[in-house]
Amino acid sequence: MVLMADWDTLHLVKTSYAEFNELCDAYTSAHLERFGAITSEDKQDVEASRYETKQVSIIEFRNQVQKWIEDTENRTSDRLGSASG
């Protein structure tokens, strides 16, 4: 979250966030492939639990980044508005 230390890095955060989302999609695809290959119900339960735990962390992180982006865009818009007004 070092990139999120300053509003001047908004474009970098947005680029990194898009890349992160692509990686998350790849992770989900890999999970589904792995899960489909597991034949043991017990091992499927373990894999499902592991995936769900990771998803909770991913969703929490995404929410934090998205909130920072929105807040920063609003602050940037406010600064531009007051500078031109």
Question: Is the entire prediction scored with pTM above 0.85?
Answer: no
The C-alpha torsion from 59 through 61 and 67 to 68, rounded to 10°, is -160
| Cβ–Cβ < 8 Å for 10, 76 | yes
Reported as a single tens digit per residue, the pLDDT across 18-48 is: 999 999 999 999 999 999 999 999 999 999 9
Number of neighbours of residue 65 by Cβ within 10 angstroms: 19
- pLDDT over threshold 90, residue 77: no
pLDDT above 70: percentage of residues in the chain: 89
